[in-house]
Every structure is written in C-alpha cells, then in structure tokens.
Amino acid sequence: MTGKAHALAGAGAKTGAKTAAEVSATAARTGAAAGRTLATAAAMLSAVLLSACSTFAPQATTPQPGPAVPVPAEPQQPVLSAKMAAAQDALRIMVNLQDRLSRVSAPLLINNADLCKSMARNLLGFTAQNRYSYPGEFSEAARTVLGYGERLQVSSVLAGSGAARAGLRKGDGLVSVEGKSLPGGPDAESQAAEVLGPLVGKQAALDMTIARNGNNQTLKVPVTRACAIRVQLGNADNINSYADGQRVLITRGMMNFAQSDEAIAYVLAKDIAHNVLGHAGAMRNSAAVGSMIDNLVRTKPDLSLLIGSGGIKPVPQDMDTAADNLALYMLARAGYNIDRVKPFWQRLSSQYPASVLNGYTALHPATSARFAAIDKGVAEIKAKLVAKKPLVP
C-alpha cells in the first residue's frame, strides 16, 4: 500500500508499505487512492485579542476604571485543506487494505515455509514505518492519522509469527535491538534493516526494546521460518495481481472484486506459487512485472502504464497449471477452503475475459486447462487428507 511500506524481514529478504509484512534483513516497502494531486498545506489562524474601552461614570467623584486586560481568544485549530483531508482519507483506506493483506497472507507464508524451499527465511514477523515511509503530503497525513513521527513504529504484526507470540503490538516504537539503537528519521527503515539483518540470520531470538505508552520495555522476539515473499497493495482499480519472483502485488480493484478474505487468499496463493516456481525469471518477465509493481505501490501511480498489458507476457499453460496445483496445497495447509477456488476463477474469467488487456485473464489465458488442473488438484488433496498423508505436491 502505499508509501514505501517497507517490511524489514530476515536475512536475504527485502510495508510500506510498505507483506508480506515482516521485519527482516532488508527493507520492504508497501498504496493509496490513485490519481489525486494532493499538497501539504494547513493554515493556522491567528489568535484574536479582545480588548475593552475605558468608561467614565457621570459623577466626578467616581473613580475611573483602568484599561481592561486583553483576554486572548481560544486558540483556533489548524485549518484542514481539502487536499490534506483527501490525503488522510486515502491513507486510511490504504492502511486498512494493507492490514487486510497482512492478515490473509500470514498463514500462507508461515504454514508453507517448507514448500517455499529456497525462498524460506528467518523472519521477525512485523513491519515498521515512520512518517518518512510516505511521500509528500502523505507524510503529514501519516503523522496525523497514524501518529507516526521520527521513530520507527510497528505498522503490522504477522499473525502466528514470533513477534505476535512475544506480544509485539501495532504502534510500538522501536528503540533498540540486542543493545543496538535503532535510528529514526528519513533513512530509518534502511538503517534498521542493516542492524537487524545480521542478527536475524544467526540468532533464534532477539531482545528488542520498544516504547509503549510512554515507557520502555524489552521483549524477546523469536524468529519465524516463513516464505520470504513481500505482499503489497497496488493502488489501481484494474482487476489484476502480479508476481515478479520476490514480491506479490494485488490491486485494490482485485481486492474489491474478490470481496472475501478467502478469495483474496486464492489470488495471493497463486502468485506466491508462481514466485516459488521461478516463473517470472523463466519467462524473462521479472523486469516488466517488477516495473509494474514499483509503479503501483506508489501513492499516486502512473495509470497510463495500465493501458494494455504493460509489456508483461502472458503465462504459458504449463506454468499456470503448475502454479494452480501448488497454490491449492498452500491454501489447504493454511486452512483455507479449496472447494471454492475453481468457482472464483470462473467468475473472474467470465466477468473480465482476456479481451480486458489490463486484467488478470489476459495474463493467464489458459482457463480451460487451469480449471481441469484445479479439479484434479482438489481431488488429490482430499484423498491425501482422508488417507492422512502429508499435504505435499
């Protein structure tokens, strides 16, 4: 979503923005309403001092009152410009959607570490941001809406992670880790990643000092083995999602179309599977998809790049069916119902066929083969569950 949305994850992993929302060795950055031109301006009204005139009594013997002491008026609240109000509203929407993605993706990333193979990493399981994680007027909006300042604050905690078990909460300020101070300011995310990365890679748990309710306290945060894939929000209304080999992005439009958390999980699992299987690299699609993701995570993306496919090549049938099969196993292991996977993709391909060039089906056109593969995969998984066999493809 959504500003930088940096997710500081474990060694070798890269919000706000800004995925999946984990703090690790490298910074991850995570969206807002697109196409608005907003500016930071809040005008402060001057305080008006009230004074009284001196009055005289009709008799000369009556003392004359001295001049009244000026009484300051009640201080006026800063005027909120329309642009700043729009930025605040957009930020609220963006943060809520990114929080939802973090919640939905958590079991997919944590419960499938072994299926992610070389993409599994030790993660702390939270994201952290400050006001500088957002550009321009959104920086001031982050201060007002989220209470962000110079110090990094926990922006999300991955359910089921070591951070969640240790009691880390959204809004906690990051003070230090293993006695090493964590910086604030414009470069806080990247500098914190440099401190955290080596520690996460070699320790089973970290002593983290946090600021909460005006007091400092130290938590022992165990690392979590999980898929080191960043899950990000795309600030656009086209019905699509993208996987560049390291990241997964789902657009605001796709989230609105999917509606339920379960359906959002279907989309995320499919793209996580594409990354695990190395499809973007094999297709030489990584650069084109990566550029699209870089664009759509901005608070104000260039929507002209959504005219057509954006230079992204459609996924071949064999790769798409392989990703569908792996995604079904990931969904089942994460506790999601796989019976409704095929109806969801059927609904999407019916309402947004391949002729919608910036839509999902245009990049995944082999729908008949995909639906057959999903039927086969669901039957296979159910048979393994009955036989109490491991859910491994």
Q: Are 192 and 182 in contact (CB under 8 A)?
A: yes
Say how far apart CA 393 and CA 385 lie, in whole Å. Answer: 13
Torsion of CA 117, 123, 242, 300, to 10 degrees: -170
Q: Are 2 and 30 in contact (CB under 8 A)?
A: yes
First to last CA, the chain: 32
Which pLDDT does position 201 carry in this prediction?
85
pLDDT at 81: 86
Q: Which tokens in the block code for residue 79?
A: 């005027």
pLDDT for res 76: 56
Residue 74 class from Cβ within 10 Å (0-12 exposed, 13-18 middle, 19+ buried)? Answer: exposed
Return the pLDDT at 25. 33
Domain range annotation of the chain: 83-225, 235-386
Res 50: pLDDT? 27
Would you give the DSSP letter of residue 185? Answer: S
Q: How far apart are CA 246 and CA 267, in angstroms?
A: 16
Give pLDDT, residue 18.
39
β partners of residue 227: 120
Q: Is the pTM of this model over 0.75?
A: yes
Q: What is the pLDDT along the chain (393 residues), one digit of tens a residue?
A: 444 433 333 333 333 333 333 333 333 333 333 333 333 333 222 222 222 333 233 333 444 555 555 555 555 555 678 989 999 999 999 999 999 999 999 999 999 999 999 999 999 899 999 999 998 899 999 999 999 999 999 999 999 999 999 999 999 999 999 999 999 999 999 999 999 989 998 899 999 999 999 999 999 999 999 999 999 999 999 999 999 999 999 999 999 999 999 999 999 999 999 999 999 999 999 999 999 999 999 999 999 999 988 999 999 999 999 999 999 999 999 999 999 999 999 999 999 999 999 999 999 999 999 999 999 999 999 999 999 999 999
Whether 373 contacts 321, CB under 8 Å? yes
Task: Please report which helix (H) or strand (E) contains residue 342, including its range.
Answer: helix 341-351
- Whole-number Å distance between alpha carbons of 206 and 162: 10
The DSSP code for 77 is: P
Residue 368 Ramachandran class (φ > 0 left, ψ -120 to 50 alpha, else beta): alpha
Token pair 């999946």 in the structure block, residue? 20
Q: Residue 99's closest CA among 9, 212, 231?
A: 231
How far, rounded to the nearest angstrom, does the alpha carbon of residue 7 sit from its chain's CA centroid? Answer: 8
Which one, of 182, 178, 219, lies nearest residue 201 by Cα?
A: 178
Q: What's the fold here for domain 83-225?
A: Pdz3 Domain (2.30.42)
> 170: closest CA among 223, 210, 121, 227?
210
Cα–Cα nearest to 104, from 348, 222, 271: 271
